[in-house]
Amino acid sequence: MSEAEALREEGPKEMTEEMPPPVFETRQPFDLTDELRARVAELDLVDSVEHVKEHGYGYVHDAAPPEFVARLRETIIRIAQSDAESVLARLGATMLLPKDPIFAEVVVNPKLLTMVEILCGKGAMLSQVAATIKPRATEPGDGKGGLHADQNWTPAPFPVHNQLVTFCWACDEFNEAAGSTRVVPGSHRERRHPNQREVAEEPGVIHTECPAGSLVFWDGSTWHSGGAPRTVDGERVVLHVTYSRMAMRPVECYDFLGEDWLADKPWEMRVLLGREDFLNTPQGGFAHGIKLPRAMNWAKT
């Protein structure tokens, strides 16, 4: 039986569920349903929601017990060291979801999922599960030059609705000396990417600060940088988890078409099927050379 015939025979699951009544009005940012508001209160996220609304970034505390965070830290270090051939690769790892059961627990953490629903709506998707290990800096320097908004493939002006949210689970304390993420509070209101001067000078940045085990998160339009040097001993171990709205995913998936099918097609076909950008690949975002910076440029056209 073909897949299509099997589907007809059984009926897709959603056809057997009750039809949802249509919704006509789009909820505006931070206009929470009663259910979501109650969940925010129950999970002790009221301050986190207020903070991200006002400043574009916020903190989530007590998302898991200290033993969980300790295991997360060890797991990241073990995977980064075992996966990697180069020194650079040993300072990070991507595509982590299936590499240890702890990551599957992280991405469905109720506190994270509640913030995700507020910032990226229902149906939001997991975009990235990556880790970084930042040792004490060996070179002098202020680490400037990496300021960006994570919805870096969305053209400006950014839509009123946030597109993407990133959580950094700080397995070690976050402060200036530790090389914590720098953010520009309120930059989400600019609704654009930072310009060349802002990237070079990082006006208005502050260092995020939280105890080990807490999470720092920011919406997709908030300017931030991971470039701050660590000036104390030890390593800053962070899990970066990103979710995005479901909105722009293509309706039809042609990932099953191989290089043989593409062989006699023009290059434009490769672009149309997402083969020439860095998104949605089983190798993760950073494995594709120029495809990442080129896509960021394409997004601004």
Ligand X SMILES: O=C(O)CCC(=O)C(=O)O
Cβ 144 to ligand X shortest distance, Å: 13
DSSP annotation string for 140-153: -----S--B-S-TT
**By the rule CB under 6 A, 240 interacts with ligand X:** yes
Q: Which residues, 162 to 191, sit near ligand X by CB under 6 A? A: 166, 168, 181
Cβ 5 to ligand X shortest distance, Å: 45
HEC profile of 191-225: CCCCCHHHHHHCCCCEECCECCCCEEEEECCCCEE
**Residue indicated by tokens 């919406």:** 219
> 227 or 274: whose CB is closer to ligand X?
227
> 40 or 170: whose CB is closer to ligand X?
170
Q: Which of 127, 132, 214, 221 binds ligand X (CB under 6 A)?
A: 132
**By the rule CB under 5 A, 198 interacts with Fe ion:** no
> 40 or 57: whose CB is closer to ligand X?
57
**By the rule CB under 6 A, 154 interacts with ligand X:** no
Distances from the Cα of 245 to the Cα of 45, 178, 190, 219, 248, angstroms: 21, 32, 20, 12, 8
> 40 or 75: whose CB is closer to ligand X?
75
For residues 15 to 54, the per-residue mask of contacts with Fe ion, x marking binding by CB under 5 A and - elsewhere, is: ----------------------------------------
Which one of Fe ion, ligand X, none interacts with residue 168, CB within 5 to 8 A by kind?
ligand X
Let me know: does 246 contact 176? Beta carbons within 8 Å. no
Q: Which residues, 105 to 164, sit near Fe ion by CB under 5 A? A: 150
Q: Which DSSP helix (H) or strand (E) runs through 182?
A: strand 182-183
Let me know: does 225 contact 202? Beta carbons within 8 Å. yes
Q: Is the peptide bond before 157 cis (omega within 30 degrees of 0)?
A: yes
CB atoms within 10 A of CB 289: 9
Let me know: does 147 contact 223? Beta carbons within 8 Å. yes
Number of chain residues interacting with Fe ion (CB under 5 A): 1
Cβ 237 to ligand X shortest distance, Å: 11
> 124 or 130: whose CB is closer to Fe ion?
130
> 40 or 95: whose CB is closer to ligand X?
95
Radius of gyration for the chain, computed over Cα atoms and rounded to the nearest angstrom: 21
Q: Which residues pair with 215 in a beta bridge?
A: 60, 169
Which one of ligand X, Fe ion, none interacts with residue 240, CB within 5 to 8 A by kind?
ligand X
> CA-to-CA distance for 216 and 166, rounded, in angstroms?
8
The amino acid at 112: L
Q: Binding residues for Fe ion, per CB under 5 A?
A: 150
Q: Binding residues for ligand X, per CB under 6 A?
A: 132, 150, 166, 168, 181, 224, 226, 238, 240
